[in-house]
Structure 1
Amino acid sequence: MSSELDPRIMKTKRQLKVALIKLLTSQSTQSLSIQQITETAEITRGTFYLHYRDKQDFIQTIINDFVVDLFQSALIDGKESLEPKIQISEHVAYVFSLEKGFKYMADNYQTFIVLFGLTGKNNFAMKVELAFRKHLQLFLKAVNLTESQQTAHLKLKADFIITGLLGTMKNWLAEGIIYSPHFISRSTYNFIHEKDNETVSISDFFFE
């Protein structure tokens, strides 16, 4: 069994994730101490150092894990959504389900309020933006939109959509998720796909 799948390790990492978010609701990453982290997670310092080199390694790893969790919750097989425009096999192209993404954030509201508030080295929003760009490039490759076909217009459109989507996510959380995940995802989807055409493009990575 992989050590990553060891139930004891998984439990320890869950405890550490919960501890980090709990501590960051009232203080900065700079002021955190390893003693606070281990006491809040109810683990020993020895156990902590089995998994992380130091505090910054721990914080960076946990934040990266949250980014991965968000995309794992929202990426879906794109075959069904792409079929009106292109024939594609199952499990070839993955698209980002806006509703699943917004619902995941709503279900973990306090966690994402804390995460989107982080700046500097631990800037969560920047890490999410980089993940969007990575998965978008994988999508474009899967639908055979090569780099030579990615015009300045498409690249600017990608910048516009990703920046706008991140802003929408942060504002929606900051305002106390006053709109349901279904409503905000549907509205965002309509904005992204406004004046869409028959050709597969950047906007098709973002699905309802």
Structure 2
Amino acid sequence: MPKIDRRIIKSQEAIKKAFIELMNEKGFDKITIQDISDRANVNRRTVYLHYLDKFDILDKMIEDHINKLRELCKSLSEMDFIDGGVPFFEYFKSNYLFFSTMLVGGGAAQFRAQYLEFSVELLKGEVNVTDGKNKGLNEEIILRFVAAAYVELVEWWLKEGMPYPPRVMAEQVGILIERIL
């Protein structure tokens, strides 16, 4: 794999940081490429060199974070919901501005929808509807119920300024998910 020039990475990171800050401050619809280039301290041409438009910036940022969550998921596949949840909540905390803007600030409904689908995908295979407490229930209904509750809890946690540490959130949410599934 070819090595990417550090200047390119630095420019892209500055553009993404500027974009999410502006989105948090004034909303997606009011952001212009000029706003982004000014905030990132790069030329407009530099923005267009890396992205088609502000929609492309948003799409790539969402894709990047969902992919990072998928990678986290793969690395934690053998853990239970409690221990496996800690890295997720730590990731949300370390990327607070992005997630709070996307989920709490009404930044992008499309992110919430993608995150919800990711959560459903994450839980597939964890539901037993053939015996036990969920016998006879519809697997899709259970998956959507648990995933929606999880996304809501993440939104609440971010909205409230992360009042509990990632470990506490992972423990509480993990116990609840294990009770349901």
What is the TM-score of this pair, normalised by structure 2?
A: 0.80
Partner residue in 1 for 2:176: 191
1:37-77, Cα deviation, whole Å (9 max, x unpaired):
01111211222112222222222222222332344345424
The answer on whether the counterparts of 2:23 and 2:107 sit within 8 Å (CA) in structure 1 is: no
1:18 aligns with 2:17: yes
For residue 118 of structure 1, the aligned residue among 89, 102, 106 is: 106
What amino acid sits opposite 1:182 in the alignment?
R
The 3 A distance-change label for structure 1 pair 20 and 74 is: farther
What amino acid sits opposite 1:164 in the alignment?
A
Shift of 1:175: 1.1
The answer on whether the counterparts of 1:71 and 1:101 sit within 8 Å (CA) in structure 2 is: no
The 3 A distance-change label for structure 1 pair 72 and 111 is: same
The answer on whether the counterparts of 2:28 and 2:107 sit within 8 Å (CA) in structure 1 is: no
The answer on whether the counterparts of 1:74 and 1:98 sit within 8 Å (CA) in structure 2 is: no
For residue 118 of structure 2, the aligned residue among 121, 131, 147 is: 131
The 3 A distance-change label for structure 1 pair 16 and 27 is: same
What amino acid sits opposite 1:131 in the alignment?
F
SS at 2:75 equivalent = strand
Residues in 1 aligned to 2:41 and 2:89: alpha-carbon distance in whole angstroms? 31
Partner residue in 2 for 1:9: 8
Residues in 2 aligned to 1:99 and 1:110: alpha-carbon distance in whole angstroms? 19
The 3 A distance-change label for structure 1 pair 6 and 98 is: same
Shift of 1:184: 1.1
The answer on whether the counterparts of 1:19 and 1:37 sit within 8 Å (CA) in structure 2 is: yes
Partner residue in 1 for 2:143: 158
Residues in 1 aligned to 2:79 and 2:58: alpha-carbon distance in whole angstroms? 38
For residue 105 of structure 1, the aligned residue among 92, 97, 103 is: 92
1:67-96, Cα deviation, whole Å (9 max, x unpaired):
323443454242465xxxxxxxxxxxxxx9
Aligned residues: 171
Residues in 1 aligned to 2:32 and 2:144: alpha-carbon distance in whole angstroms? 37
Residues in 2 aligned to 1:100 and 1:80: alpha-carbon distance in whole angstroms? 11
Identity %, equivalent residues:
24
The 3 A distance-change label for structure 1 pair 181 and 15 is: same
What amino acid sits opposite 1:32 in the alignment?
I
What amino acid sits opposite 1:11 in the alignment?
K
Residues in 2 aligned to 1:7 and 1:57: alpha-carbon distance in whole angstroms? 21
1:180 aligns with 2:165: yes
Residues in 2 aligned to 1:132 and 1:6: alpha-carbon distance in whole angstroms? 34
Q: Where does structure 1 lack aligned partners over 5 or more consecutive residues?
A: 82-95, 146-150, 196-202, 204-208
Shift of 1:131: 2.3
Residues in 2 aligned to 1:97 and 1:75: alpha-carbon distance in whole angstroms? 10
| Root-mean-square deviation over aligned CA pairs | 2.7
Q: Where does structure 2 lack aligned partners over 5 or more consecutive residues?
A: 129-135
